[in-house]
A = this chain, B = another copy of it.
Amino acid sequence: MEVAVKDSRVLGSMLKPETVAILGASSNKNKLGYLQVKALLDGGFQGDIYPINPNADMIEGLRCYHSLADVPKQVDLAVFCVSAANAEECLMDCAKNKVKSIILFASGYSEVGEKGFEKQERLRKIAEDNGIRLLGPNCVGLVNTVNGLVCTFSPGLTELPLKNKREVGFITQSGAFGVLTYIAAAQAGLTFNYFVSVGNEAETGFSDLVEYMIDDPETSVISGYLEGEKNPDRLRRLATKALDVNKPIVIMKSGRSSAGSRAAVSHTGSLAGSDKIYDGFFKQTNIVRAEDYDDIISFSKLFQAKKLPKGRNTVIITSSGGRGINEADRCEAYGLHIHKLQTKTRQKIEQRIPSFASAANPIDLTAAAAVTNPELFIEPLKALVEDKDVDIIMFSEFPMNWDADSPYLQEFIEICSSTDKLVFITTFPLEGMAVPAGTDELEKNGIPVITGDLNPVRALAKLVDYSERYRQTKQEKGNEFPGKKTETNVSKLMRPGATLSESEASEVLESYGIPITKRQLAITETEAVKCAEEIGYPVVLKIDSPDIPHKSDANAIQLNVTGEQAVRTAYREVLENAANYKPDAKVNGVSVQQMLPQGVEVICGVSNDPTFGPVIMFGLGGVFVEVFEDIAFRVAPITKQDAIDMITETKGYQVLRGIRGKPAADIDAIADVLMRVSALASDYKHDINELDINPLIVYEQGIVAADAMLTVKETENLSSVAGGK
C-alpha cells in the first residue's frame, strides 16, 4: 500500500543541474523551444545549455546538437519542448542516454481522463524503470532563482528581475495560482529560491519536493499550495523531520468550503469534515496553514527571520496614534498580548523621546517627531531589548529614507542582531511609499518588512504558535506513542461488517486500559440481583444486544435501580421492552452496571478517513457538539501534546477547566484515554470503521467510558496486530 519513495538527492539533478538539454529547441521566436533557450540565457543560467534539434546548428548563439547522443557531457536535466505525441519516444531516448531528470510541460494526460492517465502511467513506468526523475506532465515548470535555471514557458516567471532572493522554496499543485503567487511575492520583495509546479505528479510529487528542500542547505522555509496530498503519512514524517531542523513548512490548502463541518454533528459516524481533519493534521505536524497567497508571502517573510519568540508579549512602536490603535486591535484579535511595560522600561524610553510623544504601549513617536527626527525610532528599541518581559517588537511605520549606507540603519540592525527578540516592520501599503529604502538590507539581516495588506499580525500569531509547538516538541522528545498491544481477544471481535454490542465494545476499550463502567452480564433475574449486589447500588440495567444499538429508543434501559425487588422488576421490563421493540433481536442478556455519579460528559471517537486513515475526535457532549460543532480532530497516532492540544482547543475546555467555582476536570485522564484510543485505532486501522465513546464521564479525578459503539469495516480483515502497518 505504501507509495514508492525515491531518494531525494537525485532531485538535485533537476533543481541544480550543471547540464541542461532542451529537446525541441527552435530558432522560431514563437515556439516554446525558442522561448525556453532564451529564458535560460536571460536567467543567466550558470551551467551548460545544449539545444537539441536535428535540423539546426545554432540557436541564439549556442551550438545546437542534432541529437541527445551528440551532447559531449552527461545531461542532468532535459526539458521537453515537444508535443505530447513525441514525449514517450523522447523519454526512451533520455533513458538510453542516461539523462537524470526531465521536465514535461505538455498536457493531455491524467487531467483529460482514462486514456490520458494510461499514457501518463507509461511515462511514469519508463522514468521509474530507468531511475529518471520526472516533473509534470501538465505543469508550468520550475525556476531556481539562485543559479538562474528558468525552465518554464510562463511569461510571469521569465519576465521578473531576479532580486530580493530569499531562502524560501515554493511548491505548487496549481500552475496558474502558483505563478500569480510567485509574482505577487516578488512584488512584495520576496523572490523564492525555488518555484516548482508539480502538475499531474506522475512521478515526482509535492512531498518529494518538500523532502528535497528539507535536505537543501539553501532553503530555510518551505512554502506551498496544496489541493490534496495522496500520502499524508509521508508528509507527516517529513514534517517531523523539518521540525527537527526548525525548517517551517507553510502550506495553503484549498477546498475549505467543500468540507462539511456541518456534518460533523452529534455522531462520529458523520465526521466527514475532511478540511477540519486537514486543520488537525497541520496542527499536529506543526505545518503552518496559510489561507491565501498573501499569507504565503507574509508567513514566509516572517519565518525567514529565524527568530522564535519566547512568548506573546508584543510592543508596538509607531508614528501614527491611529495606526497604533489599529495594530493593537489586530494583535489582541489574534491572541497576542499588548504588553504593559514595566515602569523602569517606560522611564528609560521617556528619557529618550520628546515629552509630547507617548512611552506607553503602543509607543507613539508622533508624526512630527518622526519626520524631523527619524533617529528617534531607535531610542525605544534600546530600552526594549533590555526588558526580559518583551518578546516581540513591532514597528508600525519606519523611516523611509534610511538606505543600506545609513549609519542609523546600521545601528538599528546591530541592536536587532544582538537580541533574540523578534523585531519586524509593518508599513502602510502605498505604492512607492510602502517600502523603506533599507528593506533589502533589513531583511537580509533577519528583520522582515511586511506591508499591511499582507496581514503581518496574522503572520506573527502563526509564528508564535509555531514557536510554542516547536519548543513543546523539543521537550517532548522520547514521549512516544503508547506501544501496541497484542490483544487476541480484540482481534477476534473485529468481525467484518459487525456492530459490536456494548459489552463487546467495552471489552475492546478495557483491553486498551480505558476505564469502563463496572458491569456484569446477567441471564437470569437472580443473577442480575447477584451482579447488582457485587457492583453496589444504585445500578443501571440495559439490554445487551448487537441488534439494538440505541437502547433508549427501545426503552430497554433503566437507570438508578436500588434494591433486590427493583432489580427484578427492571430486569423483566428491560427484556420485555426489547422484545416488543425488535422481536427477532439476538439478545446476550441484561447488562447490570454501576450507576455513575454526575461528571462532565465528553465524547471521544474514531472515524476512518479515506485519505488520512483513522482520525481521533474529541469534544464536549450536548450543545457543544450538537450546536457549536466544537470538535477537535487529529490523525492517529497522537502524542500526549496532541491530546492536550485537542482538549484545550475546544471551547468546551472552559467547562473542563471549571466554571462558576466548580473544580477542574481531570484533563490528564482525558488525554490518557485519547492516547489509548489512538493506539487502538492505529493497531486496528484496517478494521475499525467507527468508534464512538459517548458519554465518557470525567471527574475531578478519574474518568469512565459509560457507553461505546464500535463498527467494523465490511471488507476482509486486512490487518491484525501482527500484520499491522
Contacts and interface: CB of A to CB of B under 8 A. Distances in A.
A428 B367 contact: no
Interface stretch (A328-336, A341-349, A399-407): A328-336
B655 A323 contact: no
Given A176-B367, A321-B176, A326-B177, A256 B225 contact: no
Interface in A347-383: 367
Contact of A430 (B184, B255, B338, B428): B184
Nearest to A326: B254
B338 A257 contact: yes
Contacts of A338: 257
A329 B255 contact: yes
A322 B627 contact: no
A584 interface: no
A254 B431 CA distance: 24
Contact of A322 (B187, B225, B367): B225
B627 A651 contact: yes
Contact of A254 (B177, B322, B659): B322
A394 to B, nearest CB: 15
Scoring A322, A431, A626 by chain B CB atoms within 10 A of each residue's CB, the highest score goes to: A322
B659 A626 contact: yes
Interface string A426-440: 001111010000000
A212 interface: no
Contacts of A305: none
> Which range holds the interface residue count of chain A?
35 or more
A654 interface: yes
Given A623-B623, A655-B627, A183 B430 contact: yes
Contact of A187 (B177, B431, B660): B431
A320 B227 CA distance: 14
Contacts of A177: 320, 322-323, 326
A350 B79 CA distance: 36
A325 B255 CA distance: 6
A294 interface: yes
A660 B176 CA distance: 45
Nearest to A451: B453
B623 A624 contact: yes
Nearest to A453: B453
Contacts of A174: 320-322
Given A184-B428, A428-B180, A652-B627, A292 B659 contact: no
Nearest to A266: B660
A654 B624 CA distance: 11
A174 B255 CA distance: 40
B660 A325 contact: no
B257 A430 contact: no
A295 to B, nearest CB: 12
A413 to B, nearest CB: 26
A227 B321 CA distance: 11
Interface string A448-460: 0000110000000
Chain A interface, >50% SS class: helix
Nearest to A173: B322
Contacts of A655: 623, 627
Contacts of A452: 292
Nearest to A294: B453
Contacts of A481: none
A241 to B, nearest CB: 28
B626 A651 contact: no
A628 B628 contact: yes
Given A177-B320, A431-B187, A254 B623 contact: no
Contacts of A627: 651-652, 654-655, 659
A645 to B, nearest CB: 19
A462 B655 CA distance: 34
Interface in A273-324: 292-294, 320-323
A120 to B, nearest CB: 17
A180 B430 contact: yes
B257 A660 contact: no
Scoring A227, A294, A431 by chain B CB atoms within 10 A of each residue's CB, the highest score goes to: A431
Contact of A292 (B293, B326, B430): B326
Contacts of A187: 430-431
B176 A323 contact: yes
A724 B640 CA distance: 62
B322 A257 contact: no
Contacts of A329: 254-257
Contact of A257 (B227, B332, B652): B332
Contacts of A433: 183
Contact of A184 (B183, B254, B429, B651): B429
Contacts of A660: 266, 626
A254 B325 contact: yes
Contacts of A266: 660
Interface in A432-479: 433, 452-453
Contacts of A257: 328-329, 331-333, 338
22 contacts: A174-B320, A176-B322, A177-B322, A177-B326, A180-B323, A183-B430, A184-B430, A187-B430, A187-B431, A225-B322, A227-B322, A255-B325, A256-B333, A257-B328, A257-B338, A266-B660, A292-B452, A623-B624, A626-B654, A626-B659, A626-B660, A627-B651
Given A256-B333, A429-B453, A627-B652, 7 more contacts: A174-B322, A180-B430, A227-B322, A254-B322, A257-B332, A257-B333, A627-B654
